[in-house]
Structure 1
């Protein structure tokens, strides 16, 4: 057991809070729903990036490369100034949803390089230009460009020309749970010496201005030592800390208040001359009266004036600790601890990863884990208080209380949660979170379990059983993958430790029963086991906005929604069977989910004569069906993931389990004998597969060689066709069939159209920053790989399909799954010419030695060339590549 494994065990005891401090600070708090108190709900406009320099946040904090405690009371992050910028660089800049030609987009370069699960060691990199940051140029040019053009990125502006920038490396190493060593290394990559103002900043989240009766904390000048200067921090709940700052000479320490500059923003009188942007005014404008001469406040910074030679580096050291009188806080033991934590991080990941991994694979996997662990954020949002407003503030306008999330007043979050992306999506999303937990369970099963557990708690789950979707609309509907993730995390931990956490499994299962019932009651209006679902997280995959009222009226019977529910049934069945090993009561629950699955499968596979069912026998594909108010049904013949998701509904059952659960087995046999009409075109329990296993699946398949009449075979023919779904880099969200055959639908004189779009979206749906009309997405690809493995588990090596379609190359389904894994991993791996497809034609990221080793884990990827698209740091579900790398290495060995 490595030292980090020991810390993970110790962290489960409150007396050793190794996780109390971590990278729980978001990269963006401005422009979020939480900070929006407008009548119209225009969050991007209500609290802008420009205001963020001077306006105190209500619900959270942001910073560059920062850390905070697990209640986000005390925060520490970087501030920088290159002598040219109009503002102090305290947070990352990006375009809002309306400013970008493809929606919101961060316009900075930063990389999460390392993290242990207890955050005993952390490392990140921020690339800071030496020339003036082109804020106005980025906004103007992206607004000028239309949706048919590429985004205008920071590298395109020329601000990094001749490598005139600083690499700012930040490392954190814990000597003890609340004793944190901080090393900041600044390297000048340019051809000439350049100045840099480095301001490590310590501040308290403002909890005292909102009328909650919170006692105000204080930062003040501490006793100096022979190592430098000290900031003393005292909080009524958090206690006392000291930030020791190393310096060889006098070090200016600036103090102000983390309070809004009302005079600047709202032309009213400030209660104090010392406000949030005081340090900015002191450094950039030389306004020394903007900082408190008494050296006391709630926000403070140490001001290091560096002059860094060309190609050289300078290092600054600090220590945040509860120890006031360390003899030499920045002395010899600093190096000892830092080196030890680096080594222990290496040991932890060496114990995790197979020895067969290449150096490139190890680097990608390590950075994927780092990105996921850096994306943990303290998320505070009390919807009731947010709707009502604060006692000391003007009441929100009437429209605010009738707007967003008004039906979720019970939701009250104050937890460390895994975020999809700490800039573009600094808020949890229910189905994203489920995928995050798979790779997270590999490094920290306790945290992964806690993530799944809290989403079903009464202060998150709606009283009607719905899980909250995401901050912009908790009432939207995400795919019901929570049970799948719960089962997978349970099995991952069981494999790693030899024992699964049955208490966790049972607790989440009980709450998911409520959620399952919500789905059945709310999303199957006609009671025919065909579900509407709505949005389902796939944004613009359909011809209509599926989260809004249909322009035709009526309802959309969704192949994907119905398939997700079939998968949900099987996930719950699998969990119930596991729990039934110890408690026979769960055999009855297993029977319930088995029967419900059979009814859904029958509804999906029933073949009508009028081509208005979900399954189209002629095309061999599943489609959505539009059910008009006049009773007419129209099949929406779009070849997309909607028609492939039925493949996800598959499970196998071992014969030993049926022998151990005779009551369940007997009920299955009764159902098979007495409901023969429901077996039609449904892969069911009746036929034994390899190892006498049984299978349940929506897509019928027969033992032996794949037969053209099997639904599985017919779907795989399109899935594995390179002129349809199969790309060199995974499965596309929309078939290339729609390049020459766009789908067009007319309603009320308006054209609704679907074209194959392999890159950024030309549609404005959901802000235009997401595209499911062609690109490759990791979460659904991962589910496809897992599903093919399950089919192989039942069908065995005799069942082979042509892969790619038309190639004459026949593969088992296990080999097909492996092929898809290899294609997904190829997005990040260097090819024969040393280039990574993820970076396309971006020269520095492909060839520059100071860029090419760092990985960005994008939201989705170009359907034809694998280039990264969308949010650039959505390690959340793209972090699944860490699991794929692990699986492929294990299978190979």
Structure 2
């Protein structure tokens, strides 16, 4: 239950004004101006107190006021300004000139430059005709929306629209995959304090991050407010040991919008201007027992007087080129006074070279300045399989005030980023007192930007950074001495003149923008980036911010069009917003999940072997698991791993917007590299052998029917493929969970909340087995769904009539047992 103080702060963050300070402020009048968009009306300025938390907006999207440069770049094609029009009316079908050739599917060599396909159609750019209108004229009566057209292209593998998406986890530290301890204590083995300095083995994380579908390259946001002891480059929370109610993220962030192909995405992070209360959150939560409420970030007071930043991150893909990605980061100062903000987008390769004995071909990031009419700081990407691409870090206009005015006396024409480079390698010296192979390590950007983060110059100097550190028990395997394995301060490592590589190359890069004295009460700073294989001279949007912003606005309007197409009958704008943001959140929580059980259990050839007792801790009976897929997560911070029965529920709403993705999720869990040969479906990484209610058949048939009703397609091949695998799973249930053979099932779960009377991961403390009426009811439910699927398949193949008869018999037996 929120206290009155918390409620007061919540009103500041999500109410209708910024702490009541908008009276007489021109910005507040501007915020109240309404503009018409496809999906309805909503405020022109995304003031966090009105829209940031998703509680105050009335339309389906949130519009940003973006500062423009003081003067347009001369002699460049400029797209005509377009108002927000309703969905284009289909016109007569005709062939569109210059249509894209088919893209590759696997991303091999997809970054090659120089072909005509890399050049944007200048005639179309200058015409100012929205892509939706041109597409409607091409498709005629078959036009159903730009986003639906992309979904069809992706399904047919004509273009790989889902290659890039929000596949970066919100938390990789303290996961089971990163746990190499002897006792299976994942929370302690890889804590948050290690995350900035220690290379991950099985994944990556970041704020509002994206990656390709094989996670070869990652892009995410990082920030610094000038007060924190570390960069804000990942979300913080208390661990399972620290929280009085278990693990809990202690941040304010919101998934605001996403289309199924991720052609448009929007994210909001609320960043305090005061020092982030890391220690206070941990200490206060540890003091509390389970009978009291959790200690949240709103309780700390860091948002008092509205002293925080609203940082919006938007991604938009080019209208016809899935690998061309616009990135816009917009930060609003909600506080009363001017403040400085460092915006530091980071681009990096996951560490794949530290684990095998023979290093694979190394990827590379290199920095340079490109551009004919303006100097654009560029990070060029070279990867053996991803191909070549570039991250163009455009010069930013200086900060503007709440009424979008520049400070003419500042003397600043633009804010140019400083490109920083290092390696995505563990800082053994800082963490374990070992030796680094290179002076450039994973946490180099912290040392370069924040003086207090740097190690002391001499061993005799004291430094708070080292005072609170605890040595890992596994320090010896990282080069530490035997006598240093117990608790104690970390050993300072020799200082270096350069924390980042002066040659501007490495496997991790950042663009460091510094916005000084951003005005209060809604002053704004903006950063524009573009990830694209194209050269500067082949992409006019790189030197024309109007073209850049118009491309993002078009994708937002197409998102409006898509979500409006899902609305049937009268519905309020508030309910539209709830539906859209809920579905957007589901799409944002996709994650690249990698787990190869054999490698994880045995350890890596280039690393010391794990403790021998580790193999008995968990998951030793799943040697066939080989997972490298985009999966739907229950939560990318608190539960950054798939859970089989959660996935089944996720697929119901996902089928409304993207039935192909929903079907693939259900199909994957029954494939031979997931499902055991005996038919058991893996539960979740803490214990793949745990048992969850059998809802997979229900979700499969529901997704099948949703696609048939909304899209007019009957995917019988999908239904039949999953049904045949579920026959194995049903047999496993009968053989493993009905030990008496009398149709009374065990399982350890209870009710819809999956709450067990006893720990279902361990034998009963009393001995024997636990027989449950609800376990038997779940099996009856499972059997009924299998019966329905068999009857549906029997319409097309009479062989399934006999199978339907069998499930009818089993259903009857189970119902009799429940009634006796």
Calculate the TM-score normalised by the size of structure 1. Answer: 0.67
Q: What CA deviation, in whole Å up to 9, does each residue of 1:106-131 have, x standing for no partner? A: 00000000000000000000000000
Partner residue of 2:797? 583
Alpha-carbon distance between aligned partners in 2 of 1:250 and 1:121, rounded to the nearest angstrom: 26
Contact 1:35 1:59 (8 Å CA) reproduced: yes
| Structure 1 residue 199, shift from structure 2 partner | 0.2
Alpha-carbon distance between aligned partners in 1 of 2:750 and 2:595, rounded to the nearest angstrom: 23
Partner residue of 2:365? 219
CA distance change for structure 1 residues 14 and 472 in 2, over 3 Å: closer, same or farther? Answer: same
CA distance change for structure 1 residues 495 and 550 in 2, over 3 Å: closer, same or farther? Answer: same
| Structure 2 unaligned spans of 5+ | 1-143, 396-413, 455-496
Contact 2:421 2:508 (8 Å CA) reproduced: yes
| Structure 1 residue 539, shift from structure 2 partner | 7.2
Greater RCO structure (CA 8 Å; 6+ sep): 2
Contact 1:227 1:328 (8 Å CA) reproduced: no
Alpha-carbon distance between aligned partners in 2 of 1:595 and 1:540, rounded to the nearest angstrom: 28
| Structure 1 residue 227, shift from structure 2 partner | 4.8
Partner residue of 1:257? 423
From 458, 482, 489, the equivalent of 2:703 is 489
Q: What CA deviation, in whole Å up to 9, does each residue of 1:582-640 have, x standing for no partner? A: 1111000001111011111111111xxxxxxxxxxxxxxxxxxxxxxxxxxxxxxxxxx
Q: Establish whether residue 178 from structure 1 lines up as the match of residue 387 from structure 2.
A: no
> Is the partner of 2:721 in helix, strand or coil?
helix
CA distance change for structure 1 residues 13 and 240 in 2, over 3 Å: closer, same or farther? Answer: farther
> Is the partner of 1:399 in helix, strand or coil?
helix
Alpha-carbon distance between aligned partners in 2 of 1:285 and 1:539, rounded to the nearest angstrom: 48
From 732, 740, 751, the equivalent of 1:518 is 732
Q: What CA deviation, in whole Å up to 9, does each residue of 1:358-407 have, x standing for no partner? A: 11111111110110000000100111110010010110001111221111
Contact 1:477 1:537 (8 Å CA) reproduced: no
Partner residue of 1:347? 561
Alpha-carbon distance between aligned partners in 1 of 2:671 and 2:805, rounded to the nearest angstrom: 26
| Structure 1 residue 534, shift from structure 2 partner | 2.1
| Structure 1 residue 242, shift from structure 2 partner | 0.3
> Is the partner of 2:345 in helix, strand or coil?
strand
Q: What CA deviation, in whole Å up to 9, does each residue of 1:664-719 have, x standing for no partner? A: xxxxxxxxxxxxxxxxxxxxxxxxxxxxxxxxxxxxxxxxxxxxxxxxxxxxxxxx
Partner residue of 2:289? 146
Partner residue of 1:280? 446
| Structure 1 residue 224, shift from structure 2 partner | 2.1
- Counterparts in 2 of 1:521-560, with a 5 A limit? 521-535=735-749, 541-560=755-774
Partner residue of 1:574? 788
Q: Establish whether residue 246 from structure 1 lines up as the match of residue 394 from structure 2.
A: yes
Partner residue of 1:709? none
Alpha-carbon distance between aligned partners in 2 of 1:329 and 1:264, rounded to the nearest angstrom: 43
Partner residue of 2:671? 457
Contact 1:418 1:428 (8 Å CA) reproduced: yes
From 64, 74, 79, the equivalent of 2:217 is 74
Contact 2:652 2:699 (8 Å CA) reproduced: yes
Q: What CA deviation, in whole Å up to 9, does each residue of 1:216-261 have, x standing for no partner? A: 1000013422152100011001011100011135421000001100
| Structure 1 residue 14, shift from structure 2 partner | 3.5
Partner residue of 2:611? 397
Partner residue of 1:198? 343
Partner residue of 2:686? 472
> Is the partner of 2:714 in helix, strand or coil?
coil
> Is the partner of 1:207 in helix, strand or coil?
coil
Alpha-carbon distance between aligned partners in 2 of 1:349 and 1:568, rounded to the nearest angstrom: 33
Alpha-carbon distance between aligned partners in 2 of 1:74 and 1:544, rounded to the nearest angstrom: 43
Alpha-carbon distance between aligned partners in 1 of 2:392 and 2:299, rounded to the nearest angstrom: 40
Q: What CA deviation, in whole Å up to 9, does each residue of 1:397-452 have, x standing for no partner? A: 01111221111111110000000000000000000000000000000000000000
Contact 1:476 1:535 (8 Å CA) reproduced: no
CA distance change for structure 1 residues 190 and 442 in 2, over 3 Å: closer, same or farther? Answer: same
| Structure 1 residue 299, shift from structure 2 partner | 0.4
Alpha-carbon distance between aligned partners in 2 of 1:346 and 1:152, rounded to the nearest angstrom: 38
Contact 1:535 1:547 (8 Å CA) reproduced: no
Alpha-carbon distance between aligned partners in 2 of 1:289 and 1:24, rounded to the nearest angstrom: 33
Contact 1:478 1:537 (8 Å CA) reproduced: no
Q: Establish whether residue 26 from structure 1 lines up as the match of residue 179 from structure 2.
A: no
CA distance change for structure 1 residues 593 and 78 in 2, over 3 Å: closer, same or farther? Answer: same
Q: Establish whether residue 161 from structure 1 lines up as the match of residue 372 from structure 2.
A: no
> Is the partner of 2:498 in helix, strand or coil?
helix
Alpha-carbon distance between aligned partners in 2 of 1:230 and 1:265, rounded to the nearest angstrom: 32
| Structure 1 residue 544, shift from structure 2 partner | 2.7
Partner residue of 1:269? 435
Partner residue of 2:239? 96
Alpha-carbon distance between aligned partners in 2 of 1:535 and 1:576, rounded to the nearest angstrom: 27
Alpha-carbon distance between aligned partners in 2 of 1:416 and 1:250, rounded to the nearest angstrom: 35
Contact 1:7 1:18 (8 Å CA) reproduced: yes
Alpha-carbon distance between aligned partners in 2 of 1:213 and 1:93, rounded to the nearest angstrom: 33
Alpha-carbon distance between aligned partners in 1 of 2:387 and 2:156, rounded to the nearest angstrom: 20
Partner residue of 1:133? 276
Contact 2:194 2:431 (8 Å CA) reproduced: yes
- Counterparts in 2 of 1:605-644, with a 5 A limit? 605-606=819-820
Q: What CA deviation, in whole Å up to 9, does each residue of 1:291-350 have, x standing for no partner? A: 000000000000000131102111110000011233434323212211110100000000
CA distance change for structure 1 residues 249 and 108 in 2, over 3 Å: closer, same or farther? Answer: closer
| Structure 1 residue 214, shift from structure 2 partner | 2.2
CA distance change for structure 1 residues 384 and 303 in 2, over 3 Å: closer, same or farther? Answer: same
Number of matched residues? 606
> Is the partner of 1:172 in helix, strand or coil?
strand
Partner residue of 2:153? 10
| Structure 1 residue 543, shift from structure 2 partner | 3.6
From 645, 662, 679, the equivalent of 1:431 is 645
CA distance change for structure 1 residues 233 and 92 in 2, over 3 Å: closer, same or farther? Answer: same
Alpha-carbon distance between aligned partners in 1 of 2:367 and 2:808, rounded to the nearest angstrom: 67
Calculate the TM-score normalised by the size of structure 2. Answer: 0.73
> Is the partner of 2:699 in helix, strand or coil?
helix
Alpha-carbon distance between aligned partners in 1 of 2:664 and 2:344, rounded to the nearest angstrom: 35
Q: Give the alignment's Cα RMSD to 1 decimal.
A: 1.3
> Is the partner of 1:59 in helix, strand or coil?
coil
Contact 1:228 1:251 (8 Å CA) reproduced: no
Alpha-carbon distance between aligned partners in 2 of 1:249 and 1:128, rounded to the nearest angstrom: 21
Q: Establish whether residue 108 from structure 1 lines up as the match of residue 251 from structure 2.
A: yes
From 504, 519, 532, the equivalent of 2:718 is 504
| Structure 1 residue 356, shift from structure 2 partner | 1.1
